[in-house]
Amino acid sequence: MRAAMFVLLAVPLGVASGVGRLAVDDGEFLIDTSGTRERKSPASAFDGTNYLTVWEDCRNDPDRSDIYGARVSQSGAVLDPSGLAISRAADRQRYPALAFGNGDHLVAWEDYRSNPNYPRIYGARVSQAGTVLDPSGILIQSAAMYLSSPAVSHDGTNYLVVWQDFGRGAGYDIYGARVSSLHRVMRQRRPPGPVQVCSPPRRPALLAVPSS
């Protein structure tokens, strides 16, 4: 069980003497101070000025988690001590991941709002100022499979969101979709139809970029 009652962050201070060794701050600090219910599954990214840390948060319902976050300065000051509500959608939102690119973070997570048994992949942008730009969330993939445990990266132009997919092949497969910085999920074909990000079953796939 992945469990942690509070979200903690140890800030690396830089490379210590000696090749390949990192120094770690001599004290951890509490990032979320807003309650006693469970917080877990943290992730963090740096935007050039501050860090954004995100996590799964049960402050509103012990059985139906949400996604919250907080910015942390390079000096370790928690800039959003009450937390930023990134998604408070129905049912559970779990296992957030994020990356920074082109001025905003993209946070992605597995989301049970439309089906309590088969999570989808949702995301939302968070600005450097801590504003949640997509408070209803962006549907990244809705295939009727068990889509879970996303990860996010940014290549300087677009985001890549990847996740594990259970149900269409033998066990788990890895699928992904590119998401533009305008938070559009890139579609595989034109004219636009349902978001289609997967090649034939059991074959991990990425999207082709539309030609125009």
Which residues make up the interface to Ca ion (CB under 5 A)?
Answer: 64, 66
| Closest CB to Ca ion among residues 66, 110 | 66
| Cβ-proximal residue to Ca ion, closest one | 66
| Closest CB to Ca ion among residues 100, 109 | 109
| Closest CB to Ca ion among residues 71, 92 | 92
* Structure-derived torsion over alpha carbons of residues 82, 54, 158, 166, reported in degrees to the nearest 10: -140
Q: What's the closest the beta carbon of residue 92 comes to Ca ion, in angstroms? A: 6
| Closest CB to Ca ion among residues 66, 104 | 66
- Cβ atoms of 83 and 66 within 8 Å: the answer is no
If DSSP states are collapsed to H, E and C, what string results for 118-149? CCEEEEEEEECCCCECCCCCEEEECCCCEEEE
Q: Report DSSP state, residue 61.
A: -
Task: Tell which residue, 99, 212, 195, 79, has the closest CA to residue 138.
Answer: 195
Q: What's the closest the beta carbon of residue 50 comes to Ca ion, in angstroms? A: 26
Q: What angle is formed at CA 25 by the lines to CA 131 and CA 74, rounded to 5 degrees? A: 30
Q: What's the closest the beta carbon of residue 194 comes to Ca ion, in angstroms? A: 25
Q: What's the closest the beta carbon of residue 112 comes to Ca ion, in angstroms? A: 8
Q: What's the closest the beta carbon of residue 200 comes to Ca ion, in angstroms? A: 33
What amino acid is encoded at 91 in this protein?
A: D
- For residues 114 and 40, give the distance between their C-alpha atoms in angstroms, rounded to a whole number: 22
| Closest CB to Ca ion among residues 64, 183 | 64
